[in-house]
Structure 1
């Protein structure tokens, strides 16, 4: 029972702890029914913007075409005195189903404020894909140029067309930007191309920088003395998240190469085989054959050096590049309750998108909300450049002179090969006492649309003397709560103890007879008294004998058949009954027998005397046995 009590108490505490836990939600969503070859989106959503070290699951049975692609948004409202902030952060993948069957994508993992969170798993049912056929013969233009598709690349060699991946750096430090470019080299005409499979970029944070309009940059390049037309079809900025040798997997592209063939229905035969007519013949009587080729780029091995531990600042959070920090504040002379906007901007080139919110020590009299992150980042051929701005909304609650200390920002400078720490200016604020009218709260910031003050949402601190009285009584944790919680448990324990004791006693027949001996004897004496009133001597003496011998048998746990005057006397002496009491019990039996059978024993006076003696001796023995 003690273990049950402890378990109940711990169970109650666990419910309280669950109610106080943070409400971070990490969910995965995707279509549950797809077909073989179908492309669909898998989205991982978070209701916070402070996620770090996202670990994607293994997409067994699927081909990752794109991802991880990251996006975030945030909004804030103050309504009826409550601050409501909505933050969303999502990571998306575009995948393609390869085979029929039922597949399970294991949970993804993310680390937030030192804690590990896992998403839900996804169950995907992949059905049979739909097949379609295309006509092989199709007139393309008015010059009778015939286009035919051939899936066997018999007319195009690997030297005629190939895909190559190159990087601007082969060895970098952790967090340093790498530009990977994918180029198609060809000396035959290409009518179209499609990217079938994108690399997963395991160990990297990736960002496509090909361009919004996907404009393909084209030029000529000599390879091993042979001229090729080159098209840069994809460019990606990578930021390594761990050290070691990381491998960039091949990119898969499917393209159609147009191969010129001679028409078999040339009515002029060898006349137009003369070089003089080659231009006329090629433009009118030649046809083209489409040859489908699947190209795979080479894989790349990148050596990632860890960041040096020597002289690493305590506030370093992984920023790498050529960066700088600046700050602005919209107002330094305000009243209590007025809003102030502090903007801290980090600009330059590097891993700007991976820089998390800064640690700023604001005065304790200020109410500060989570920053709004504004990105002005451009992704060009030379990588990621621009700025990331953190907008902090500050509301002073007390009047006085306050100082916002300089904000420190540390990063690893790629040019100097060392850690650099920069700080912003400090700001001295003069906060005057407000008029106490919350409806006049002003907001001088670019994010006015994100925050609304209605009526008396924010109440000011009262400094004058006033009396406090309790308006509500918290039931949880009060004496009444613990009393109502513990009393039923204690009563239950007491009930079980008594119940088990009762069962034990009932199983002890001798003990039960011992306890009931006096009561049974008293009942028989009462019955004898009734016979006494009716002057029924035979029944009276019979009940007196039963009362005396029955009491002695039950009390001493001796069967009646084994009892005699001699054994009764010895048994009483063994139970520490005095010799005089034992002798008195034997005398009472003798008087009862004499009165029963002697002449004149049936008189009411004689029976009354015997009754008194029997009642008296039973009472005396009961006292001495206790």
Structure 2
């Protein structure tokens, strides 16, 4: 009888041990400081080969934490004592608390053989979560600054918003916070959103009021754990100036998904690409045109690689001028970026200008979008074709524009001479005008009397004797002397109007007039004259300037900056020569 009981107990023990499921959820400790990481450990143990885990671990609500890391491992072995297959799965999750106090961690659920198992919920106590950095003197106990980033689990090159908040017991301290310096680091791109101070919130923690002093966007450009450095600000008072520093924040930056297109570089957001010709005139061979590649949308717009225009034997393309029109949006920087290319067609006929392929990653849909190439179809004409295609009206307009650009025709603003009607006659205005007219008449009579007296004095003075040959030559040179300032003003107007052919013709005309003033026929003779009378330095400057003018004149592409520097050199040298 006793042997039968022992045998029955062994059978019951084997049945109980067979098919057993153990699920547990633990933390490394029950109480944490604000900077500590909460480590959750989930252990699932299956005793028996018939047990099958049908679902993964269903985690509780962890919205009060930032998940900064996770990992799992599975071990399988056979218990030699009971000859039972044991499968053990261990998962660890690293959490960063967002607030202090008691935080409840709910149950973890898992389904094994159509049966749901769960753990018991429990609380963890967070003592203090805010990182305080002290000020100088006795201000550390009553004021500190905290950087808050709500979304810390993002993709590479995706935007997350950081809010900089100042806490203080004394509300008078808020007006002293100035000069917020945003963080700078190689693995993040920072763009300001607002430096406007918000309303003071008196209901902050620890009997302290709070105020938002800055909002900015952070774009991490590498994956992994990225730490946003501290933000500093100055606290100025009448007696001294102190510095306040915020906490650092860690971001969990996820790698972009695999399977990206070959043309993908670093664009993350939602974008569109277009290309168009900004020049309104007909396209002529060997004449530059402006082709603009526009990228618009929202995301890491200021930091992304723009699609370039592909080189071709049909045209010559130069480096673009980049213009940005970007403002903060909801999921990144929003606006458009324009790349202005100078393109010179090389042959007449149809020309196809193509950009590089462009793709971006859309974090909202978690997918790559390939926009492909953008093509601009143009039709270039030769110079003879341009002349033949002009209508009579266009020729008349061209002659008229040339006349208006050549001749100075000042226009009177007749609207300023219009007399406003008055509903009532003012005698004071009439008498004032009469007094002004009488005064002007008296001044005119005095001026005429002074002129008559001066003429009498001139007649009584002796005539000037004839001078030497050198003096006579000097007088002739003064008579022939060119008003160089008129040329300078005219050249400035031509440069601003970008009328470069007329600009260089006027330069040659001015140089000829200056040489005639000194009785020199050729630039080489004039250089020898300058070397004799003005010095070798001025002569060498003249020779270099003449060469530079010829190079700029026949250059296929002239920049406004280069023409500005050339005009400054001309004014400087010819002002010295004409002294």
TM range (shorter): 0.3 to 0.5
TM-score scaled by structure 2? Answer: 0.40
Answer 1 or 2: higher relative contact order, Cα 8 Å, separation at least 6.
Answer: 1
Structure possessing the higher radius of gyration over alpha carbons: 1
TM-score scaled by structure 1? Answer: 0.37
